[in-house]
Structure 1
Amino acid sequence: MKLTKNTIFITGGTSGIGRGLAEAFHRLGNQVIIAGRRKALLDEIAAANPGMDTVVLDINDPVQIKAVADEVIARHPGLNVVINNAGIMPFDNPASGDLDDDQAVGLLNTNVLGPVRVSAAFVEHLKRQPEAWIINNSSVLAFLPLAATALYSATKAAIHSYTLSQRFALRDTSVGVLEIAPPWVDTDLIHKSGDPRAMPLDAFLSETLAKLEHATTEVLVDGVVPLRANVGPNEHALINQFNQSLVDNPIPVA
Structure 2
Amino acid sequence: MKTTGNTILITGGASGIGRELAERFNAQGNRVIIAGRSRERLDAVTSANAGILGYVLDVGNKDAVAAFAKRVVAEHPDINVLVNNAGIMVAEDVARARDLSDAEATIATNLLGPIRLTNALIDHLSTKSDAAIVNVSSGLAFVPLVATPTYCATKAAIHSYTVSLREALRGRVEVIELVPPAVQTELTPGQSTRDGYMPLDAFRAEVMRLFARLPTPPEILVERVGFLRHAEAEGRFEEALTALNDLARGQVPK
Q: Normalising to structure 2: TM-score of the pair? A: 0.93
Question: Residues 1-254 of structure 1 correspond to what in structure 2 (within 5 A)?
Answer: 1-94=1-94, 96-173=95-172, 175-190=173-188, 191-214=190-213, 215-232=216-233, 235-249=237-251
Structure 1 alignment gaps of length 5 or more: none
Following TM superposition, by how much is the alpha carbon of 1:99 offset from its aligned partner in structure 2, in angstroms? 2.4
Amino acid corresponding to residue 186 of structure 1 in structure 2: Q
Q: Secondary structure at the match of 1:152?
A: helix
Q: Secondary structure at the match of 2:123?
A: helix
Amino acid corresponding to residue 55 of structure 1 in structure 2: Y
Distance in structure 2 (CA, Å) of the matches to 1:78 and 1:166: 22
Deviates more, 1:60-69 or 1:151-160: 60-69
Deviations 1:130-177 (A, max 9, x none): 11100000000001111111111111001001001111111132x010
Distance 1:27 1:153, change over 3 A: same
Amino acid corresponding to residue 243 of structure 1 in structure 2: N
Q: Secondary structure at the match of 1:70?
A: helix
Following TM superposition, by how much is the alpha carbon of 1:234 offset from its aligned partner in structure 2, in angstroms? 5.3
Deviations 1:13-68 (A, max 9, x none): 11100111111111112100000112222122211112111111111111211211
Following TM superposition, by how much is the alpha carbon of 1:193 offset from its aligned partner in structure 2, in angstroms? 4.2
Amino acid corresponding to residue 241 of structure 1 in structure 2: A
Q: Runs of 4+ in structure 1 displaced over 6 angstroms?
A: none
Q: Secondary structure at the match of 1:32?
A: strand
Distance 1:194 1:249, change over 3 A: farther
Structure 2 alignment gaps of length 5 or more: none
Equivalent residues, number: 248
Distance 1:109 1:194, change over 3 A: same
Following TM superposition, by how much is the alpha carbon of 1:248 offset from its aligned partner in structure 2, in angstroms? 2.8
Q: Normalising to structure 1: TM-score of the pair? A: 0.93
Amino acid corresponding to residue 210 of structure 1 in structure 2: R
Distance in structure 1 (CA, Å) of the matches to 2:166 and 2:17: 23
- Contact 1:185–1:200 (Cα < 8 Å) also in 2: yes
Distance 1:248 1:38, change over 3 A: closer
Q: Secondary structure at the match of 1:77?
A: coil
Q: Secondary structure at the match of 1:248?
A: coil
Following TM superposition, by how much is the alpha carbon of 1:200 offset from its aligned partner in structure 2, in angstroms? 0.6
Amino acid corresponding to residue 237 of structure 1 in structure 2: E
- Contact 1:176–1:216 (Cα < 8 Å) also in 2: no
Identity of aligned residues (%): 45
- Contact 1:185–1:198 (Cα < 8 Å) also in 2: yes
